[in-house]
Amino acid sequence: MRAHTSRPVFEPCSRLHELSAEEAAIYRQLDPAKIPQHVAIIMDGNGRWAGKRALKRFLGHQQGAESVHFVMETASRINLPFITLYAFSLENNLRRPKSEVNFLMKLLRSYLVGNVQRMNDNNVRMTYIGRIHELPSEVQETMQWATESTARNTGTTLTLALNYGSRSEIVDAARSILSDLIAEAHQRGCSLEDLLQVDGIEARLDEHHITDALYTRLTPDPDLVIRTSGEQRISNFLLWQIAYSEIFITDRLWPDFRGIHLLEAIQNYQHRERRFGGLGESFTDEDLDALEPATEVAEEIVTKLTPKQLAPR
Residues with a catalytic annotation lie at 44, 92
Q: Which stretch binds ligand FPP (CB under 6 A): 76-84, 87-95, 120-128, 297-305?
A: 87-95
Residue selected from 38, 61, 252, 258 as contacting ligand FPP according to rule CB under 6 A: 61
DSSP state of 220: P
Residue selected from 105, 135, 160, 260 as contacting ligand FPP according to rule CB under 6 A: 160
> Residue 42 Cβ, how far from ligand FPP at the closest point, in Å?
8
Secondary structure of the chain: what % helix, strand, coil (to 5)?
55, 10, 35
Q: Can residue 87 be called a binding residue for ligand FPP (CB under 6 A)? A: yes
Interacting residues with ligand FPP between 210 and 239 (CB under 6 A): 229
Contacts with ligand FPP, 108-147, as mask; x by CB under 6 A: x--x------------------------------------
- In one-letter notation, the amino acid at residue 294 is A
Q: Can residue 92 be called a binding residue for ligand FPP (CB under 6 A)? A: yes
Residue selected from 23, 44, 169, 223 as contacting ligand FPP according to rule CB under 6 A: 44
Residue selected from 15, 48, 106, 204 as contacting ligand FPP according to rule CB under 6 A: 48
> Residue 218 Cβ, how far from ligand FPP at the closest point, in Å?
20
Phi, psi of 290, rounded to the nearest 5 degrees: -75, -15
Give the orientation angle of helix 192-199 with respect to helix 166-188, to 10 degrees: 90
Q: Which stretch binds ligand FPP (CB under 6 A): 25-33, 106-114, 196-204, 259-267?
A: 106-114
Residue selected from 36, 47, 165, 222 as contacting ligand FPP according to rule CB under 6 A: 47
Residue selected from 237, 254, 257, 269 as contacting ligand FPP according to rule CB under 6 A: 254
Q: State the CB neighbour count (10 A cutoff) for residue 216.
A: 23
> What does DSSP say about strands 82-89 and 38-42: parallel, antiparallel, or unpaired?
parallel
Nearer to ligand FPP (CB atom), residue 103 or residue 240:
103
Taking a C-beta distance cutoff of 8 angstroms, is the pair 263, 240 a contact?
A: no
Interacting residues with ligand FPP between 274 and 303 (CB under 6 A): none
Nearer to ligand FPP (CB atom), residue 164 or residue 254:
254
Sign of the alpha-carbon torsion through 80, 271, 244, 95: negative
C-alpha distances (whole Å) from 10 to each of 32, 102, 249, 302 are 16, 35, 28, 56
C-alpha distances (whole Å) from 70 to each of 20, 41, 74, 261 are 11, 14, 6, 11
> Residue 54 Cβ, how far from ligand FPP at the closest point, in Å?
14
Q: Can residue 107 be called a binding residue for ligand FPP (CB under 6 A)? A: yes
Q: State the CB neighbour count (10 A cutoff) for residue 173.
A: 21
Distance in angstroms (rounded) separating the CA atoms of residues 96 and 166: 18
Taking a C-beta distance cutoff of 8 angstroms, is the pair 244, 220 a contact?
A: no
Which residues contact ligand FPP (rule: CB under 6 A)?
43-48, 61, 64-65, 68, 87-88, 92, 107-108, 111, 160, 229, 254
